[in-house]
Structure 1
Amino acid sequence: MNIKHTLEAFTGNGKPIANKDTEIKRLQKRLEELERENEIFIKVSGILEGARVAKYRFIQSHEKSIPSGSYNNKTS
């Protein structure tokens, strides 16, 4: 084994972790927290998408009852 290559393999200023088990538990807890947040974002985006689709369905079902141009509020 060439010592020069071994020393060059890591050139950062990394610090050894004093208690690896504590750090692993902390990272696992953080991962679980982020996974829960991700699930919430997915559910909320589905709800918002459903609301958007419902709005367009309402507009499509009522577009014939709205006179053409009445949605344009231009004042001349």
Structure 2
Amino acid sequence: MLGDGAEMGVVLCAGDGVAARLAEIQYTLGEGPCREAARLRAPVFATDLTHTPDTRRRPLFSVRAARAGVEAPS
């Protein structure tokens, strides 16, 4: 859940531990698809965290999420 301005956020619910960790990474780093979607008020997709354009759009998030074992379904 993001407040006004999307500078602060809190995870109220997550589907599993990986989803909770992913949200934590985004709030800690200040970047990620969730934050971008809130800013744009539109869906944002991250299809491959190890290649461009995702690594270019969200460089810190991509590395940390990939290290946490996050992958898009194929």
Q: TM-score, normalising length from structure 2?
A: 0.22
Greater C-alpha radius of gyration: 1
Q: Could you tell me the TM-score, scaled by structure 1's length?
A: 0.22
User: Which of the pair is proportionally richer in helix?
Assistant: 1
